[in-house]
Chains A and B, each alone.
Chain A
Amino acid sequence: MEKERNQKEKKLDGYWAETKRCLRLLKVFAKVSLMSQLEYRANFAAGVAVETGWMLIKLLYVAVVYRVGADIGVLTPDHILLFVGIYTLMTGFYMLYYGNFTSISRMVREGELDLYLVKPVSLQFLITMRRLDAALLLPDFVAGVIMIALGWARAGLPVTVVSVTGFLFFTVCGALLTYSLFLLPHLLCFWIVATRGVAEMTSAVWDFNNMPQLIYGKWMQRIGTFLLPVFVITNFPGLFLMGELSPLLMAWGVAAPILFFGITRIVWKRAVRNYSSASS
């Protein structure tokens, strides 16, 4: 019994040590990625400009809502500004590593995974986090934070330790869920090789989040919350602030990232076993 417990503790220590190592490496990847991007100043600036453009388009939705001035159920235009802010911030986080997801298909097709498979670090971590695009994160992060702050203040939502902590907690859960949920479709490439269609479909699904889930019908909300939980990502932090998140949904908000991360790990391991490289 004690031996078993010791083994479990040892295993946990191993996981913790590996997590710490990955976080250390993440810092190095961020640094190297930024250095690499700064080699091409014009491209870096263009990346910022393009992402700013996309963000401004999203802002148009908010502008329309304010111009109409109508409430949608319990949502005032200020609440909508808050939700769009969370969506923008999450898009920034997602865009930070999105390029890694889309390159998995090419890496599988051209056998580029070979030299990553021989590194003594989690392959999933290495492949999905090795290049981080600060140019895409920057505008979304700044605009997202501003919109959240404005929406929060104008909607008169509470600023307490509980509300801020809860909001940040569900934001982190959402960011973790994004990683797992949107990595899954890209893993199909290990079986079907080319996944451009799948990548485009996931982008379309992501955009379901550019408005609060409350504007959709009941069934749509259920599907988007439990079956394909994209709504959990950007809606739960806002719903928590508004006091609209039931205990069941709170539990699901915590469970979904863990569940989907587990699924991603299982699929990843099977996918890599299926890797057949490419002839040299």
Chain B
Amino acid sequence: MDIITVEHLKKEFEYYRKADGLKGSMKNLFRRETLTKEAVKDISFRVKKGEILALLGPNGAGKTTTLKVLSGILFPTAGRVEIDGFIPWERKNAFKRRFSIVMGQKNQLWWDLPASDSFYLNKCIFDVDDGEYRKTVEELAELLDVKDLMNVQVRRLSLGERMKMEILASLIHRPRILFLDEPTIGLDILSQQKIRDFLRYYNEQTKTTIILTSHYMRDIEELCSRAVIINQGQLVYDGQLADLGHLMGDSKLLTLMGTRNLKKEQLAPYGRVRELAGARAVLEVPRPALKETASAILSTLPVQDFTVTDIPLEESIALMFQKEVTTV
């Protein structure tokens, strides 16, 4: 069952252009050139209840704008969005109780107080029952491993600890939908992993629908099975992550370790040379010819070891980032 429906969503912003220097500023004072930026152009997708969807795209692609429209922060220029039976920009309180949004670069916690005070404030704002509130905080603090930090001032917490607290604060009212905009940005590997583990577990247990944007491929690979990729405001891919690899062509990577330095001319007949550094080389080889090519290399070139890997997901996505036309 679809819990989120987005149809032909469009969002435009107006902005001013200013010429360089003081002269430009003076000119701007009297006459401004108004320009329109189409942040989101005709995007459509659906999300099923309990699904974790990756919303991907390069910086400025329109991911955050899309999430802001979906959470009712922004009014769209055109299009239809329905979330759990609500139209987000009507900003009904009943809708606001159904979802939560966490932005990696913004915080809702009171800086000078322990996070527990901000949780209490959210409890009051969302009218959460005392018993339910205590149970939620205890359970989530345990899962996120922040039990001992509940009484520490937010400003004294590390970035990772703070993000865990932000996530906890956003879940006080047990939302059915969670929008996560780069929740692991700037975090160390351990904190990223902890947050990923928590989100996976939480999604399994509560069937909370999640839309996640992140520039870290590990977040995407570990949490999502489906991705929507947008570029310059346009949808360029909507499908399974596993299928993204095929868009790169049916190829594999062959990493060779020679007994002495390898040369490009030696390798070129067997495939596309992607990397070459002394005795180490990486070749892109068509999958059907893999076995044959590997055996030919081993018999003709001074190679002592080799490994076969898939083309990284990151590269498939990077390719999508360069596309402009919808290929759903």
Contact pick for A117, options B72, B121, B124, CB 8 Å: B72
Within 8 A of A (CB), among B219-275: none
**B125 at the A interface (CB under 8 A):** yes
B110 lies within 8 A of A277 (CB): no
**A115 at the B interface (CB under 8 A):** yes
* A246-280 vs B, Cβ < 8 Å mask (1 yes, 0 no): 00000000000000000000000000010111011
List, in ascending order, chain A residues with CB within 8 A of B93's CB: 120-121
List, in ascending order, chain A residues with CB within 8 A of B127's CB: 21, 120
**A119 at the B interface (CB under 8 A):** yes
Query: Nearest chain A CB to B183's CB is how many angstroms away?
Result: 12
**B44 at the A interface (CB under 8 A):** no
A35 lies within 8 A of B117 (CB): yes
**A32 at the B interface (CB under 8 A):** yes
Which of B97-105, B142-150, B278-286 lies at the interface with chain A? B97-105
Contact pick for A28, options B100, B121, B181, CB 8 Å: B121
**A24 at the B interface (CB under 8 A):** yes
Chain A residue at smallest Cβ distance from B15: A276
In whole angstroms, how far apart are the Cα atoms of A279 and B93 in the complex? 25
A115 lies within 8 A of B91 (CB): no
**B201 at the A interface (CB under 8 A):** no
B101 lies within 8 A of A112 (CB): no
A119 lies within 8 A of B153 (CB): no
In whole angstroms, how far apart are the Cα atoms of A119 and B127 in the complex? 11
**A103 at the B interface (CB under 8 A):** no
Chain A residue at smallest Cβ distance from B117: A32
**B106 at the A interface (CB under 8 A):** yes
In whole angstroms, how far apart are the Cα atoms of A37 and B127 in the complex? 25
* A1-37 vs B, Cβ < 8 Å mask (1 yes, 0 no): 0000000000000000000010011001100100110
Chain B residue at smallest Cβ distance from A28: B124
**A219 at the B interface (CB under 8 A):** no
List, in ascending order, chain A residues with CB within 8 A of B64's CB: 279-280
In whole angstroms, how far apart are the Cα atoms of A115 and B67 in the complex? 12
**A42 at the B interface (CB under 8 A):** no
**A114 at the B interface (CB under 8 A):** yes
Within 8 A of A (CB), among B79-104: 91, 93-94, 96-97, 99-101, 103
Query: Nearest chain B CB to A208's CB is how many angstroms away?
Result: 30
* B149-170 vs A, Cβ < 8 Å mask (1 yes, 0 no): 0000100000000000000000
In whole angstroms, how far apart are the Cα atoms of A113 and B71 in the complex? 13
Query: Nearest chain B CB to A199's CB is how many angstroms away?
Result: 20
List, in ascending order, chain B residues with CB within 8 A of A36's CB: 110, 112-113
List, in ascending order, chain B residues with CB within 8 A of A119's CB: 96, 125-126
B73 lies within 8 A of A120 (CB): no
**B74 at the A interface (CB under 8 A):** yes
List, in ascending order, chain A residues with CB within 8 A of B60's CB: 279
List, in ascending order, chain A residues with CB within 8 A of B73's CB: 113-114, 117-118, 275, 277
A280 lies within 8 A of B181 (CB): yes
A120 lies within 8 A of B110 (CB): no
Chain B residue at smallest Cβ distance from A27: B124
Interface size grouping (class) on chain A: 20 to 34
Chain B residue at smallest Cβ distance from A274: B75
**B174 at the A interface (CB under 8 A):** no
* B177-200 vs A, Cβ < 8 Å mask (1 yes, 0 no): 000011000000000000000000
B125 lies within 8 A of A120 (CB): yes
List, in ascending order, chain A residues with CB within 8 A of B126's CB: 119-120
List, in ascending order, chain A residues with CB within 8 A of B75's CB: 273
In whole angstroms, how far apart are the Cα atoms of A279 and B113 in the complex? 27
List, in ascending order, chain A residues with CB within 8 A of B121's CB: 28-29, 32
A32 lies within 8 A of B113 (CB): yes
List, in ascending order, chain A residues with CB within 8 A of B182's CB: 280
B101 lies within 8 A of A118 (CB): yes
A115 lies within 8 A of B112 (CB): no
A39 lies within 8 A of B112 (CB): yes
In whole angstroms, how far apart are the Cα atoms of A119 and B124 in the complex? 11
A118 lies within 8 A of B71 (CB): yes
* B108-125 vs A, Cβ < 8 Å mask (1 yes, 0 no): 101011000100110011
**B68 at the A interface (CB under 8 A):** yes
Query: Nearest chain B CB to A77's CB is how many angstroms away?
Result: 44
Subset of 12 A-B contacts with CB under 8 Å: A32-B113, A32-B117, A32-B121, A36-B113, A39-B112, A112-B106, A118-B71, A118-B73, A121-B93, A121-B125, A276-B13, A280-B182
Residue numbers of B with Cβ under 8 A of A are: 13, 60, 64, 68, 71-75, 91, 93-94, 96-97, 99-101, 103, 105-108, 110, 112-113, 117, 120-121, 124-127, 153, 181-182
Q: A36-B112, A118-B71 are in contact. List 12 more A-B contacts (CB 8 A).
A: A28-B121, A29-B121, A32-B110, A39-B153, A115-B103, A119-B126, A120-B94, A121-B125, A273-B75, A277-B74, A280-B64, A280-B105
